[in-house]
Amino acid sequence: MSRLITRMLVSDTKYSFLKQLGLTAENDGGFDGKWSSSGKIIESVSPANGNLIAKVYETTLEQTCNTITEAYKAWPDWASMPIPARGEIVRQIGNELRLNRKALGQLVSLETGKILAEGIGEVQEYIDICDYAVGLSRTLPGSIFPSERKDHTLLEKWNPIGVIGIISAFNFPLAVFGWNSAIAMICGDAMVWKGSPTTPLVSIATTKIIANVLRRHEIPGAIASLVTGGSDIGDALVTDKRLPLISFTGSTKVGKEIAIKVQERFGKCILELGGNNALIVTNDADLDMAIRAAVFSCIGTAGQRCTSTRRLILYSKIKNEFLNKLKTAFKNILERIGDPLDENTLYGPLHNQQAVDNYEKTIKNAVASGGVIEFGGKKIERPGFYVEPTIISGLSIDAEVVQMETFAPIVYILETDSIKHAILLNNNVKYGLSSSLFTNNLFDIFQWIGPHGSDCGIVNVNIGTSGAEIGGAFGGEKATGGGRESGSDAWKSYMRRSTITINYGKELPLSQGIKFQ
């Protein structure tokens, strides 16, 4: 059945990118150096029209266990390669991604519903992190410390951690895996990746690209393995003691459960969880710039980014002017609604019916709590899962719906008259991912970025809450999980640290001057 459906799509020139990505045959959902297909069938559905794209085999629990075994067998030779040699492999993966940038970006748009510019941008993000990782392969540091003992050297060395598990979400089915995989491969780790069960074709196409590079160099494909399925497959990774690190992107509720299970076996976690992000606009801000930032941060990816702006904290003096401009901008954006694969589309659908149901339930609860709909608030009557971007005012920071994260284009308006109060409003949620301040006041800026300012992992000034660069570490505090991926020193999570003392003398002194003889 999956073979028939994919071939039907490939016959349409609009979907010719599927053939370029090797998705014309039956789509197997598991890869451990070879493709397998014996699990139950899952469906990939287009958010743009609700139509079936393809059917894919899930990985069984037995296959998942075997996949970890194969990755573990392949790991020692990979870890033994010189780090720059591993960097050369990652460089070639980046080049293959460049060759398939548009096709893979189209696939991301087709399966997730995000607009084409964002789909291609996601592939570019993976390319960028490959470039970053190649540089890292020539610069991974160690340390030498002064020893208090004569004829002793004190070193710090980093070694690969082993085989890691990567569990990614539907909204960034490629980039988040890229953050993890490029850095992990440089560090000498093998991987078992479980992508979202609603974006299996992105996972399969990406794995095919990596496998082709590995095959050319006679490197076992199992070092970049793929399993497909739901929570039972994810749980198999989380509870397997052979995976010392689990990188999970998803909800705070599930992330908390994973953290407990991994900690019980003394494993490590990288958790990238929820966000309830605020954008503050002061009296002296450049309003036109703030509007442009707010529009993308509020409704980019139809509000389905963990960094999406969910609260607008506006100074009273500029509140009405800002709101009027924002409404006009939203209205203009709705004139560019359509098929995500159309380059002219600026606003696409939610991912599935469940997301639409959550959107409608949240708006109903907001109104019941006293919220006033300033703009939007309804499902758009057209094929697919389209909803109106929505602005709601009249609620306090303590309202339940304001405190929660709804993965939809809904933003709440809060009012303030001081930077101190604005910071309190920003920090008064359980999440701590991204935050933004628009101001031209240096005092406000340094209050905002200081020890009593924003408590988020990402603290921006005069840019929106969405759109992080790969050079900095990405992640947040509190219920966002505390994980860090991508740039800076995020590589340390994928390695184990050894403190090494070498005695090259003929005596055996003890530290702290202890005498024991």
In eight-state DSSP terms, residue 114 is -
The single residue of 187, 269, 298, 306 carrying the catalytic annotation is 306
Cα-flanking dihedrals φ and ψ of residue 190, to 5°? Answer: -95, 165
The alpha-carbon radius of gyration of the chain (Å, integer) is: 24
Question: Helices 61-80 & 231-238, crossing angle to 10 degrees?
Answer: 40
Burial class (CB in 10 A: 0-12, 13-18, 19+), 262: buried
Cβ-based neighbours of 67, under 8 Å, separated by 6 or more? 30, 31, 32, 59, 192, 222, 225, 226, 227
Cα-flanking dihedrals φ and ψ of residue 294, to 5°? Answer: -65, -40
* CB count in 10 Å sphere of residue 289: 14
Angle (CA) 149-151-155 rounded to 5° is 75
Q: Give the integer Cα–Cα distance in Å for 65 and 177.
A: 20
Angle (CA) 455-457-460 rounded to 5° is 85
Angle (CA) 249-252-255 rounded to 5° is 60
The answer to whether the CB of 256 falls within 8 A of the CB of 426 is: no
Nearest alpha-carbon partner for 47 in 351, 386, 381: 351
The answer to whether the CB of 359 falls within 8 A of the CB of 406 is: yes
The answer to whether the CB of 411 falls within 8 A of the CB of 391 is: yes
Nearest alpha-carbon partner for 30 in 4, 2, 67: 67
Query: 272 an active-site residue?
Result: yes
* CB count in 10 Å sphere of residue 362: 21
For the annotated catalytic residues, the residue numbers are 272, 306
